[in-house]
């Protein structure tokens, strides 16, 4: 039968796995580092995977394809629920999870500097759009060099916040759409941007500012600018 179904341009796919995670029917899998529509009969043609694709590799097309098999999708979901399913991107290190820290009263061992990270993953591109730890959080959006330049980064920036990091110069694409989805879809109390003084690092600040504006919410935004020698040169 001829029907509406998705098309994945593998030449544009960057292998992030977000579309596979967004496909509730399990029609998309990661094969050799690329997203692939492996079960046409699982694709309902509604396109939940399209907004998740940061590379614009997914579109709709009208073509001959098997009919959507809702019963088979339900059976596959039940089978997956009975066992631990692999991550869509195939990388165990990107599994979303909360990191539980000792109570504030628990003193670290002598000489120990405890991590303040509260969740994983931290890369903007790998982070889920919705996660329990986002609700009611103060969000830190940091250029990834900042933690290396500023010695007390965990204590002064990460502590008490959910952390997302990225590099606007090295990462492909713009963070604005992903950050907008996170801010719009979760109850985030404030956003702090930590960036370096170098001009290219302004991209992460501009993306955060645009995302706050596009979210339609009144979210306080603070910016800290850090120099390569570790000094905070500006705060807003």
Q: What pLDDT digit, counting tens, does each position of 160-198 carry?
A: 999 999 998 888 778 999 999 999 989 999 999 999 999
The pTM score is 0.62
Q: At 172, phi and psi to the nearest 5?
A: -80, 145
Given the DSSP bridges, would you call strands 138-143 and 162-166 parallel, antiparallel or unpaired? parallel
Per the CB < 8 A criterion, the answer to whether 196 and 153 are in contact is: no
**What domains does the chain contain, in order, with CATH numbers?**
2-92 (3.30.70.20), 96-100+114-235 (3.50.50)
Per the CB < 8 A criterion, the answer to whether 227 and 233 are in contact is: yes
pLDDT at 123 over 80: yes
So what's the pLDDT on residue 196?
97
Count CB neighbours of 13 within 10 A. Answer: 20
CA–CA separation, 23 vs 43, rounded Å? 8
141 band by pLDDT with thresholds 50, 70 and 90: very high
Per the CB < 8 A criterion, the answer to whether 23 and 49 are in contact is: yes
So what's the pLDDT on residue 110?
67
Distances from the Cα of 199 to the Cαs of 77, 203, 204, 206, in angstroms?
48, 8, 10, 11
121 against 78, higher pLDDT: 121
Instruction: Identify the DSSP state of 127.
Output: S
Residues with Cβ within 8 Å of 19's Cβ and at least 6 positions away in sequence, in order, are 8, 28, 35, 49, 50, 52, 53, 57, 58, 88
Distances from the Cα of 154 to the Cαs of 136, 194, 220, in angstroms?
20, 12, 21
Instruction: Identify the DSSP state of 123.
Output: B
Per the CB < 8 A criterion, the answer to whether 152 and 194 are in contact is: no
Q: At 71, phi and psi to the nearest 5?
A: -65, -40
So what's the pLDDT on residue 157?
97
């Amino acid at each position: 039968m001829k029907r509406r179904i998705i098309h994945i341009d593998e030449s544009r796919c960057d292998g992030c796995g977000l579309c596979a995670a967004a496909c509730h029917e399990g029609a998309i899998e990661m094969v050799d580092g690329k997203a692939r529509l492996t079960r046409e009969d699982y694709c309902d043609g509604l396109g939940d995977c399209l907004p998740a694709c940061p590379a614009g590799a997914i579109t709709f097309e009208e073509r001959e394809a098997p009919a959507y098999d809702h019963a088979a999708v339900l059976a596959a979901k039940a089978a997956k629920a009975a066992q631990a399913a692999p991550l869509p991107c195939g990388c165990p290190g990107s599994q979303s999870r909360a990191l539980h820290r000792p109570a504030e009263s628990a003193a670290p061992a002598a000489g120990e500097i405890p991590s303040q990270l509260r969740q994983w993953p931290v890369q903007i591109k790998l982070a889920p759009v919705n996660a329990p730890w986002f609700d009611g959080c103060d969000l830190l959006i940091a250029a990834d060099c900042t933690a290396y330049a500023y010695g007390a980064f965990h204590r002064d920036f990460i502590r008490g916040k959910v952390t997302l990091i990225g590099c606007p110069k090295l990462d492909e694409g713009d963070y604005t759409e992903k950050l907008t989805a996170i801010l719009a879809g979760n109850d985030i109390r404030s956003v702090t941007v930590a960036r370096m003084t170098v001009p290219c690092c302004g991209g992460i600040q501009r993306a955060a500012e645009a995302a706050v504006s596009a979210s339609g919410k009144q979210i306080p935004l603070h910016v800290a600018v850090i120099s390569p020698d570790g000094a905070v040169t500006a705060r807003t």
